[in-house]
Amino acid sequence: MENLQTILQSGTPVLIDCFATWCGPCKMMPPILKEVKDKFGDKIRIIKIDIDKNQQLAAQWQISSVPTMLLFKNGQLAWRQSGVVPAHQLIPVLTPML
């Protein structure tokens, strides 16, 4: 399996969906993320990270609520948003960053 740092440093922007299995709103994200992936294809990589299984990352990124989305570009955090963001709002935000 690829190392997260390697993935974040790659030239492809990475959208990370920080979620928890007990989080109701998090369950709304998969169809939204599928729509984003369908729109951008290989221009973006989407990864889901369970904050309960990755507490060190959650602390490092200061995730205090889920879902939280983080967009990394060339290893740098370019954008972050907490809460459910519908695809029709998410796509215009991501477009200039890809």
Task: Spot the catalytic one: 8, 26, 33, 63.
Answer: 26
Active-site residue, 18 included = no
Whether the predicted model's global pTM rises above the 0.85 cut:
yes
Domain at 22, CATH number: 3.40.30.10
Label residues 54-85 b or e (16+ Cβ within 10 Å = b).
Answer: eeebbeebebeebbbbbbbbeeeeeeeeeebb
Cβ partners under 8 Å of residue 13, min gap 6: 43, 44, 45, 71, 72, 73, 78, 94, 97, 98
Residue 16 amino acid letter:
I
Instruction: Band the pLDDT of 1: cuts 50, 70, 90.
Output: low
Query: Considering 4, 7, 23, 46, which one is annotated as catalytic?
Result: 23
Q: Is the pLDDT of residue 82 over 80?
A: yes
Q: Which residue range is the domain that position 66 belongs to?
A: 4-97
Q: Is 26 a catalytic residue?
A: yes
Candidate from 1-5, 9-13, 70-74, 94-98 with smallest mean pLDDT: 1-5
In this predicted model, what pLDDT tens digit does every residue of 37-66 receive, in sequence order? 999 999 999 999 999 999 999 999 999 999
Task: Provide the number of structural domains found in the chain.
Answer: 1
**pLDDT, tens only, 68-79:** 999 999 999 999
Q: What amino acid is encoded at 87 in this protein? A: A
